[in-house]
Structure 1
Amino acid sequence: MNKVIGITISAVLFMVSMSIDPIKGFAAASNEVEPISISIDPLSYPTDENSARIKKILLNTNKYGLTTWWDEEKNFDDQGKGYLDFGGRDESDIRHPAAMSLGLATSLSFKVYNPSYIGVPESEAIDHTSQLVSSLAFHHRANSQNGWGNRWQSAHWAYFAGFGGWLIWDDLSKENQEYVRKMVEYEANRFIDYKVPYWKNAGGEVLFPGDTKAEENAWNAQLLQLATAMMPEHQNWHAWMNKNIELMVSSAATPMDLTNSEVVNGKEVREWVKGSNINDDGTVVNHGFIHPDYMEFIAFNNTSGIHYTLAGMATPEAAFFNSDLVYGAYVEHSFSSPPFEGAGGTIYKQNSSDIYYPQGNDWGTDRRMQFATLDIFADVFEFDSSLSRGGSYWEPLHAQKVLDMQNRHSDGHTYASYMEDTYDGREEWVAHHAAWALMAKWMKNDPALKISEKSYGPTYERLSGKDRFETSVEISKEGWGSSETVVIASGEDFPDALASAPLAGKYKAPILLTNHNHLPGSVEKELVRLDAERIIIIGGTSAVTDEVAEAIRDLDVKVSRIDGSDRYETSVNIAKYIGASSDQAFLVNGKTFPDALSVASIAGKNGIPILLTKKDEIPPSTQEVLEQVRSITLIGGENVIGKNVEQTFPKATRIAGVDRYETAVKVMETLQPGAKTIMVSNGGAFPDALSGSALASKLNASLVLTGFNDIPDATLNVFKRNSIEHFYLLGGENTLAAHVPLSLLRQ
């Protein structure tokens, strides 16, 4: 893979399918839209033949859009001057008008609109475009009850309308500006806790047969690009930007990227990705076959360069990740026939506008505008530099084909028949691609582009399920593709499970939670997925019944149990089971869980036993083991482990804060200084932190505690004083409120 990051571009100066509920309640004065900061000079658009061709293509889409499309196909004139009724909330109702709005807004804002050619006065074009954008925003559910939005692909539609609105911002009323802002904000907030999908997981298993998530991830990233460019002071900005980068990198991730140590915006690629969405050769599978049309997804990432330049901001280098690989697959990857169709060869054909579809084509014979746009991006952003024939060679071949098709029609539309492009939004699709192409041409000729390699602060992920049992499964999935050993603990009471982290650490095993007398179905499925061979149950039958043990044995795995006469003896027996040395031990109060959990990940990683005590008395079973240990560390203040217990072991050390939250921080700072990964758990609930302790041990992460809603100063200071790269939230929004991660990101 040729590195496209930190490149020197000679032509451009480097200067300045699921429902996702949005996080709510973050509108504030700081969330205002910043109008486009770059001054667009009407004389700055290039006048060379290729640029003039793109301008003509865009103007043709405007001509069609303001005449035949507006007056006859949509009958918008019949609706008067109010908010337009689009007839529904589906793709054909919303996406296509939104795409057309971007084409119109681009011509107007970049001052290439030509009323004499189009036959519509510029003032009327502005009115129609403003009405179109405002109506799309008004009907979004952020502004209208039961409106469109919050569905698969709706971020894509909101992007078109939102970008169009930003381009003509001063032509919108204050009310309609707010509608546009709220639409973009709403859709962006949907992705704050979004779990990024992959075509294949890290083990190579196909998760979505025949349907890569490259395009989907890239168009969702595009909405976040727009949101971060439009609202640079928004309090969710860092969450949006990091999710944008994750989506862009993931969209172009290959199987080899799972081990790729190249750093992109502050993290190694292998730390950004959890699967793959494209093949190692740069090709993309969609609709069940290698599909050249869907390889164009990189253009959605590349538009970052346009959005951030218009905002006077730097473009994250992730915008061009693997763009050279994918574009190179168009130009130089050769397909042999058989097994591939026809004569084989490369997708792009020298001296021809033809496109080779190696496994067939279901979108018609004459789609070219996306290829012309991508050719321009390859040339402007120079991810074609290693190719024998770059974008500047291919662009005129593909773009002239589009213009020739348009020249067949007096109203400027492109297609003459359904078979040329079977997509029902084909004309609007040409319009938005032509808009991107024109803006990229302008960028090459006039403004300065700046590419940033910097980190945008810590990234985060929420690991949660509908209950504590499913949350333990999600934590397991995050850390383990398979595991020979699994630790099972009660999810209903904590005492026996408190000391289980070192056991999980010894076997590099996840901790899954169960009901007292019933094995949850989600946990059973996870045991099967992990291909576990040995299950260790923690605690006696009062914690986990024999019925649960039998249900696990029915999965054809070996089951053993570690227990004791009480919680104290159970912790001792765990220490004996793992064969802990006599060098070190952590001593915690067995009647409360926070202090034990704060040290669990460190104990698990280092194989140090966690032993339980009473506040003012050491149980005999614990005393017997401690007498053989050379180094004892008490976790917690004198309100949980009394002075008389400490005096029993004069050489013991104590790590304690004023409360459980500060104690967890002091444990981290004392025993694991400089940690880059953090687990954040509710300090008033044990289950999620218990499961998370095994993952923290595996990832060499520290655990800190917070309240459901309020974040203690001690925990906030961890994020202020340390260079945290990534943190996990353990549990859903009923455990840790939606704003908690956003507050941590702002430290």
Structure 2
Amino acid sequence: MTVTFTRLAGTDRTKTAAAISRSTGSTGTNAVLVGADAGADALSAAFLAGRLGATVLLTAPKTLSNAAATALTRLDVTSVHLIGGTDKISQGIEDLLGWSYGADNVVRHAGQDRIATNLAVLAAGAAITKPTEAFIVRAYGSINDGVAAGPISYADGVPVLLVDQTLPAGWASTVQAAGITRVTVLGSSAAVPDSIETALRAADFTTSPRLGGADSRATAALIADAALNSYGFSATGVGLARGDVPADALAAAPYAGNRKMPLLLTESTTALGTAAAGFITRHKSTLSTGAVFGSGSAVSDDVVTAATAAAA
């Protein structure tokens, strides 16, 4: 079957996020704002955005990006949720938004580090709808293993939770208080050590089989399979984003989640990669549409051509 890919892109990641927001299908008047360089915070954001029916926008850390400001106006937003501390989104941005939307309508979710911020976002989303399961990813180093889980996090209320080499004190009780009883580790044991799974079971979590490939692109394909098999996603469409620097994928969760569309990561700007190509080929009989997140400098036209050929 022929797949027609639509590119959603701007000249930088804040503009790409704004371009994606035009087509997400989200109808709420909330927005979730994340620092453009705060990838770990963006992994947290998809869960809260889904509970709010909100879009996800990216901004420069010190000054509100023009693309984000324009999108907030266009979307007729009435409340904005900031993810991360003032090093990720400045107090000046919060003050500006408070002046525009009212201080009570600008809410910051933050902790002393990315894991604490992650738990603050979990608590905010759980106050709306309690989750029962979560994905577990590494908090430091490459966070790419968690990117492809964003659409599931948004659509099905499965938060992506961050851990380091050990579970922080109080982490398990906080997560259980949010309603979570079952967890799935994303990534290889080099990213999230086996000892974490042991600790999770010792803390009375049920652990599902790990979704971990040889690299983040292979892990993304495994997550895409899980999206189809366990979360009611459809094999009629697929999302594609740059895998080695997946900044453009971070704002894609609302678009792909609302469409129940799995998200794949490319090998690089110029190479589709065997993991993404394999998924597309396996489902070529049903795939008809696709979305490319990012400009040609992120996902080249040659990569899109290769993805189209894989579905032929």
Structure 2 equivalent of residue 323 of structure 1: none
Aligned residue for 1:664? 220
Corresponding residue of 2:303: 740
Shift of 1:496: 2.2
1:631 shift after superposition: 0.8
Does the 8 Å contact 2:26/2:258 carry over to 1?
A: no
2:244 maps to 684
Do structure 1's residue 521 and structure 2's residue 66 form an aligned pair? yes
Q: CA deviation at 1:646?
A: 1.0
What is residue 726 of structure 1 aligned with on the other side? 289
Deviation at 1:626, TM superposition (A): 4.1
C-alpha contact 1:482 1:531 (8 A) present in aligned 2: no
Letter matched to residue 596 of structure 1:
G
Partner of 1:655: 211
Partner residue, 1:574: 121
Report the Cα distance in structure 2 between the residues aligned to 1:703 and 1:620, rounded to whole angstroms.
Answer: 33
Contact 2:31/2:80 (CA < 8 Å) preserved in 1? yes
**Aligned-residue CA RMSD (Å):** 1.7
CA contact (8 A) 2:21 2:56 kept: yes
User: Paired residues, what number?
Assistant: 291
What SS class does the counterpart of residue 658 from structure 1 fall into?
Answer: coil
Alignment of 1:698-713 (within 5 A): 698-706=258-266, 707-713=268-274
Pair 1:459 & 2:4 matched: yes
Paired position in structure 1 for 2:22:
477
Q: SS where residue 100 of structure 2 aligns?
A: coil
Higher relative contact order (CA 8 A, sep 6+): 2
Partner of 2:186: 635
Call closer, same or farther: CA 1:482–1:648 in 2, change over 3 Å: closer
Contact 1:660–1:683 (CA under 8 A) maintained in structure 2: yes
The 5-angstrom pairing of residues 382-397 of structure 1 reads: none
Return the alpha-carbon distance in structure 1 between the equivalents of residues 235 and 133 of structure 2. 21
User: Is 2:136–2:160's contact at 8 Å kept on the other side of the alignment?
Assistant: yes
The letter for the 1-side match of 2:189 is E
User: How far apart, CA to CA, are the structure 1 residues paired with 2:28 and 2:97?
Assistant: 15
Task: State which of 157, 165, 170 in structure 2 corresponds to 1:607.
Answer: 157
Identity %: 23
Q: How high is the TM-score relative to the length of structure 1? A: 0.38
Q: Is residue 27–residue 54 contact of structure 2 (8 Å, CA) maintained in 1?
A: no
Deviation at residue 497 of structure 1 after TM alignment: 2.3
Q: Which runs of 5+ in 2 are unaligned?
A: none
Deviation at 1:708, TM superposition (A): 0.9
Please give the secondary structure, in 1, of the residue aligned with 2:94: helix
SS of match in other structure, 1:500 = helix
Amino acid in structure 2 at the alignment position of 1:646: E
- Name the SS for the 1:611 alignment partner: strand
Write the mapping of 1:213-252 to structure 2, written as runs, cut at 5 A.
Answer: none
1:498-533 Cα deviation digits (max 9, x unpaired):
211011111121100000011111211111110000
Residue pair 1:495, 1:567 contacting (<8 A) in 2 also: yes
Partner SS for 1:689: helix
Match of 2:256 in 1: 696
Which is greater in Rg?
A: 1
**Could you tell me how far 1:493 is from its partner in structure 2?**
2.6
Give the CA deviation at 1:554: 3.2
Output the CA distance in 2 between the equivalents of 1:667 and 1:495: 18
- Give the equivalent residue in structure 2 for 1:587: 136
Match of 2:51 in 1: 506
- TM-score normalized by structure 2? 0.88
Q: What is the DSSP-based 3-state SS (H/G/I as helix, E as strand, rest coil) of the residue aligned with 2:22?
A: helix
Secondary structure at 1:655 match in 2 = coil
Aligned partners of 2:277, 2:106: CA distance in 1, in Å?
A: 42
For the 8 Å contact 1:469–1:513, the answer to whether it is kept is yes
Match of 2:38, SS state, is coil
**Residue 562 (structure 1) aligned with residue 109 (structure 2):** yes
Matches within 5 A, 1:67-106: none
Query: How far apart are the structure 2 equivalents of 1:499 and 1:481?
Result: 18
**Conservation of the 8 A alpha-carbon contact between 1:480 and 1:530:** no
User: Distance in 2 between the 1:538 and 1:618 partners?
Assistant: 22
Q: Which of the numbers 707, 710, 716 marks the counterpart of 2:277?
A: 716
Partner in structure 2 of residue 337 of structure 1: none
Correspondence 1:625 to 2:174: yes
Native 8 Å contact 1:539 1:563 kept in 2: yes
- Seen in structure 2, the aligned counterparts of structure 1 residues 622 and 725 have a Cα distance that, compared at 3 Å, is farther
Q: Distance in 1 between matches of 2:26 and 2:43?
A: 25
User: Displacement of 1:670 after TM fit?
Assistant: 2.0
Shift of 1:538: 0.4
Give the distance between the partners of 1:662 and 1:481, measured in 2 at CA.
29
